[in-house]
């Protein structure tokens, strides 16, 4: 299936369960450039770590050896271990994107609370941001650790609780500083969703789910952004997926969920190829001790795939 441009190489690969038993459907590696296989081997295998979720989102690798996974249907955040074992970490309505801050506090977007929260190891939490200029956020969606230890997050209306009023007349991207000060950075996107920094911290990428676009901004010395511009578009047939979660590797290549799976872009905005998945992908993170494994939340499952590239994880 052609996604964009000229299809240079098609390689099927086997989908494995956590017990290495083949499942009925295959995933595909669709390369649009020979450089695609500098990042992922032609014989890479996809492993299904765990299933049985309602709708997965917000994966975060913990160096203790597991992945945090949000389930927006079951209203829980799980710890998922490499053997597929699941433990409930937090019960909360409609959790979404998550990250660690510089102190290794678990930070997540609580869409139903319309807030950003800091979660303790025992599952208790406190709200750290829920308003801008006295008005409630829409439904915070994704969050990343940025330069200097600030948190950056998106606030679309995608999960605005039914029956509740939108108080802000825009969908923004914000910076929450370590001292608690909040700054609006971007307000002209339709539905800002996933976001990621380049490894040198000089670029901020934000995608727009409604417009199916990826935008890039230069980061200023004070943590703001300027010079916003279009980086790329991810378009496909209806229900094939839209831009959502994103991550970068240590060389600055960008990995964005989208139609059919994971789209890989180089820093210049060239679409190198797509990892086509058995289920629609929402988000992803780097994990394992060497940061060479992509963990992918895809509808009802968590998958992993070993990469040649090494992931960039903000600290």
Tell me: do 67 and 98 sit in the same domain. yes
Span 111-160, pLDDT tens digits: 999 999 999 988 899 999 999 999 999 999 999 999 899 999 999 999 99
Strand order in the sheet with 46-50: 15-17, 46-50, 301-306, 293-298, 281-287
The answer to whether residue 284 sits within a structural domain is no
pTM recorded for the entire structure = 0.92
Are 4 and 271 in contact by the 8 Å Cβ rule? The answer is yes
Domain hosting residue 32, numbered range: 1-48
DSSP 38: H
Tell me: do 96 and 43 sit in the same domain. no
Tell me: do 249 and 177 sit in the same domain. yes
For residues 142 and 160, what is the distance between their CA atoms, to the nearest angstrom? Answer: 14
Please count the helices (runs of H) and the strands (runs of E) in the chain. Answer: 1, 29
Angle subtended at Cα 119 by Cα 179 and Cα 204, rounded to the nearest 5 degrees:
55
Tell me: do 23 and 56 sit in the same domain. no
Span 168-189, pLDDT tens digits: 999 999 999 999 999 999 999 9
The answer to whether residue 274 sits within a structural domain is no
Tell me: do 32 and 63 sit in the same domain. no
End-to-end CA distance of the chain: 38
Name every residue whose Cβ is closer than 8 Å to that of residue 253 and which is 6 or more positions away in sequence: 39, 264, 265, 266, 267, 272, 309
For residues 49 and 124, what is the distance between their CA atoms, to the nearest angstrom? Answer: 27
User: Of the candidates 24, 23, 26, which has an alpha carbon nearest to the alpha carbon of residue 1?
Assistant: 26
Tell me: do 38 and 145 sit in the same domain. no
**pLDDT bucket at 27, cuts 50 / 70 / 90:** confident
Query: In Å, how far from its chain's centre is CA 246?
Result: 4
**Cβ count within 10 A of residue 16:** 16
Tell me: do 24 and 87 sit in the same domain. no
Span 58-106, pLDDT tens digits: 999 999 999 999 999 999 999 999 999 999 999 999 999 999 999 999 9
For residues 26 and 45, what is the distance between their CA atoms, to the nearest angstrom? Answer: 10
Tell me: do 222 and 94 sit in the same domain. yes
The answer to whether residue 69 sits within a structural domain is yes
Cα-based distances in Å from 116 to 5, 137, 239: 39, 9, 29
Tell me: do 230 and 179 sit in the same domain. yes
Angle subtended at Cα 6 by Cα 4 and Cα 11, rounded to the nearest 5 degrees:
90
Number of domains in the chain: 2
User: Token pair 């240590």 is at which residue?
Assistant: 250
Span 37-67, pLDDT tens digits: 999 999 999 999 999 999 999 999 999 999 9
DSSP 24: S
φ and ψ at residue 196, rounded to 5 degrees = -160, 150
Tell me: do 64 and 189 sit in the same domain. yes
The answer to whether residue 301 sits within a structural domain is no
The CATH number for 254's domain is: 2.120.10.30
Specify the pLDDT at position 4.
35
């Amino acid at each position: 299936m052609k996604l964009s441009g000229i299809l240079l190489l098609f390689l099927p690969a086997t989908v494995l369960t956590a017990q290495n038993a083949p499942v009925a459907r295959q995933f595909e590696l669709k390369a649009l450039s020979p450089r695609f296989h500098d990042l992922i081997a032609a014989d890479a295998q996809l492993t299904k770590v765990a299933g049985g979720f309602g709708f997965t989102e917000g994966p975060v690798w913990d160096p203790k050896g597991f992945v945090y996974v949000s389930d927006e249907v079951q209203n829980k955040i799980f710890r998922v271990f490499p053997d597929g074992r699941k433990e409930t970490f937090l019960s909360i309505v409609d959790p979404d994107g998550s990250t660690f801050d510089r102190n290794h506090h678990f930070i997540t977007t609580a869409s139903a609370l319309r807030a950003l929260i800091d979660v303790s190891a025992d599952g208790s939490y406190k709200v750290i941001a829920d308003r801008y200029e006295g008005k409630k956020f829409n439904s915070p969606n994704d969050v990343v650790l940025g330069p200097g230890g600030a948190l950056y997050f998106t606030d679309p209306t995608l999960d605005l609780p039914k029956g509740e009023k939108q108080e802000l007349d825009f969908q923004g991207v914000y910076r929450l500083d370590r001292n608690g000060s909040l700054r609006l950075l971007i307000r002209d996107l339709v539905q800002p969703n996933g976001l990621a920094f380049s490894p040198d911290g000089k670029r901020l990428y934000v995608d727009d789910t409604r417009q199916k676009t990826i935008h890039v901004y230069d980061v200023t010395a004070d943590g703001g952004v300027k010079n916003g511009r279009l980086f790329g578009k991810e378009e496909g047939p209806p229900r094939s997926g839209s831009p959502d979660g994103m991550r970068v590797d240590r060389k600055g290549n960008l990995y964005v969920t989208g139609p059919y799976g994971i789209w890989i872009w180089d820093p210049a905005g060239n679409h190198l190829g797509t990892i086509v998945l058995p289920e629609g992908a929402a988000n992803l993170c780097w994990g394992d001790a060497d940061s060479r494994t992509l963990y992918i939340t895809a509808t009802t499952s968590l998958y992993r795939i070993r990469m040649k590239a090494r992931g960039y994880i903000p600290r």
